[in-house]
Amino acid sequence: METQRSYEEFEPMCKWQQEEHQSILEVHLEGFKKDQLKIQVSSTGVLTITGKRPIDETKSTGFHKTVQVPKDCRKGGIHAKLSSGILKIIMPKKSLESEKRSHERDDDGSEEAKHQPATSTGVATLTRINARKCMTALRNSIRRTGADRITARRLGVAIGVVVAVTVGGFLAYKIRQSFHSF
């Protein structure tokens, strides 16, 4: 005789945590394994979490949860990890740099630096953009390690000096090279 499996749906307990650089959604899923879960983010910012697992030979349980991703979070940076029955969905917030860049775009959506001629001014503009990216990445890594503000500031100043000296050296080389070509 064939037995049918019964299915029981439940609503998992969820808890939001707001941090300076990310929002975290904790979903309590005792007994679930990673391969029994599915997480999707739609282009409209809807996060869908589903899961199904067997309880015994005749019963299984599951859930279906949808939440709106906060508007200040980067949809492309969302990631999750399951540990000790708690699924943590980490949603990094948009940095001020990415917001500034979106405001610096032309009407056609392209960045201004792409239209710069390949002159020393264009090189300096591209170097400034790369330096900003480098500083943002450094700032984020310092925050992750928990270094204090004074250490972060000192490190930022040191890197700024290195970048300024490098750009200055490159421009001096280009100027010197242009005088030697005559």
Own/partner pairs, 143-149, CB within 8 angstroms, 24+ separation: 143/20, 143/21
Candidate from 17-26, 122-131, 144-153, 158-167 with smallest mean pLDDT: 122-131
pLDDT band at 106 (very low <50, low <70, confident <90, very high): very low
Residue with tokens 């500083």: 135
Higher per-residue pLDDT: 45 or 126: 45
Could you give the percent of the chain with pLDDT greater than 90? 36
For the cut 90, the answer to whether the pLDDT of residue 64 exceeds it is yes
Q: How far is CA 101 from CA 39, 45, 89, 106, in A?
A: 29, 21, 26, 10
Per-residue pLDDT, averaged over 18-43, amounts to: 92
Mean of per-residue pLDDT scores for the chain:
75
Q: What are phi and psi of 95, to 5 degrees?
A: -80, 160
**Integer Cα distance of 24 and 28 in angstroms:** 13
Pairing verdict, β 59-68 and 6-9: parallel
Beta bridge partners, 17, equal 24
Per-residue pLDDT, averaged over 53-61, amounts to: 92
